[in-house]
Amino acid sequence: MSWTRGSRLTPDRVAGTVLVLLALFAPLIFSEYWVATLLTQMLFLGIVAASLIFLSAYGGMVSLAQTAIYGVAGFALGNLTTNGNTKGLNLGWAEFPGIVVALGVALIVALVFGALSSRSYGIYFLMITLVLSVIANLFFGQVTSVSGFGGISGIPIPDFLSRTAHPDRLYFATLAVALIVYVALRYVARTPFGLTLQGIRDDPVRMSSLGYNVTLHRMLAFTFAGFIAAIGGILFVWWNAQIAPSTIGLSATIDVLVIAVIGGLYRLEGAWLGALVFVVINNYAPDIGFISERFHTLIGVIFLVIVLVSPNGLIGLWERATAGRRRTIPGDITQERGSAEPTPVG
């Protein structure tokens, strides 16, 4: 969808424009419940899933620690801005210093997590990020001075975003942040840093013999993705007004992975697509008579069907449907992953 490569009307660009317009006018089209609950949730879950897809598509790192970092940002904001009547430190700060410090804390945690895990590859990377995520969950569950099992409630939202001021403002703020995140992730993927990262994804040994510091690049990519996830965490806390350790538990971690896989683990747009499917199913499936208590089974079945029909997720289906009209060869992974410029291989 890059506008630097000529102004041809590709199916991707048309669909992207239609979807952005649809999102902008959503409050006029959909009911208030849909906008304030489902679509807002879709947008911030999409941000977290996009950070995972960024790591996986451009860095070859499937991380399970995104929810942990998202939780760290949420818990930090909760501890900083609440003011009595709840668990945690109740520091009672104003919102904006709270956001900055919460994002800073999450960034530091992401840096530490990245430093610990960037030397591992494949299943070891998956395991160490899973372990870090479990540690974060247990930490907030057990350390009662910052949270405890009940979590923090009544986290304030800035006045101009609150639902009492206007029901749609939080939605628009989330939409704006999601668009910025999307553009930023695409931009970073095209910088020399992003290109090096893709080189590392394809062949770490070669990149290292060319003189690139592989571990440092992986660590920084992880930190950057953690920062994006932390932004999603702040939005989540505002939307939900509370956060508990179960929010970042194992099942939440798996949910983010499921969202990313349903959408397509190799294109950023897939994050929001997967999040939409997930949120709608999660919300409506329990209402359908015989499914009610078995809705995890339903999500599992849908997941299986999507993975069997299209291993590249819903984005893969879309690409197959529009394959006849595109210039590039559908199987050409370098094009699809956004590295149109030749990677400097020396």
Partner 1 sequence: MGGSFASLAPGVDANWLLNSLVVVIIGGMGSLGGAAIGALLLGLTTNFAAAYLPADYTYYSIIFTFVLLAIVLAVRPLGLFGRPA
Residues that bind partner 1 (CB under 8 A): 116-117, 119-121, 123-124, 127-128, 131-132, 134-135, 138-139, 142
- Distance between CA atoms of residues 298 and 4, nearest Å: 42
CB nearer partner 1, residue 124 or residue 160: 124
CA distances from 217 to 14, 144, 343 (A): 34, 36, 15
CB-CB contact of 119 with 215 (8 Å): yes
Which C-beta is closer to partner 1: that of 16 or that of 204? Answer: 204
Least gap, CB of 110 to partner 1 (angstroms): 15
Please, which residue, 127 or 180, has the CB nearer to partner 1?
Answer: 127
In terms of CB distance, is 101 or 116 closer to partner 1? 116
State in angstroms the smallest separation of the CB of 293 from partner 1.
14
State in angstroms the smallest separation of the CB of 346 from partner 1: 24
Tell me the residue length of the chain: 346
- Residue 257, helix vs strand vs coil: helix
Answer for the pair 68, 248: CB distance below 8 angstroms, yes or no.
yes
Closest CA to 106 of 73, 133, 75, 129: 73
**CB 204, min distance to partner 1, A:** 11
CB of 49 to partner 1, least distance (A): 24
**CB closer to partner 1 out of 116 and 188:** 116
Question: Can you spell out the DSSP letters for 298-320?
Answer: HHHHHHHHHHHH-TTHHHHHHHH
In the complex, minimum distance from the CB of residue 138 to partner 1, in angstroms, rounded to a whole number:
5
31: exposed, middle or buried (C-beta count within 10 Å: 0-12, 13-18, 19+)?
Answer: exposed
Q: 80 or 128, CB closer to partner 1?
A: 128
Q: Name the burial class of residue 209, with classes exposed (0-12), middle (13-18) and buried (19+) by CB atoms within 10 angstroms of its CB.
A: exposed
Min dist. Cβ of residue 250 to partner 1 (A):
9
User: Do residues 200 and 217 lie in contact, with contact meaning Cβ atoms separated by under 8 Å?
Assistant: yes
Choose between 126 and 259: whose C-beta lies nearer to partner 1. Answer: 126
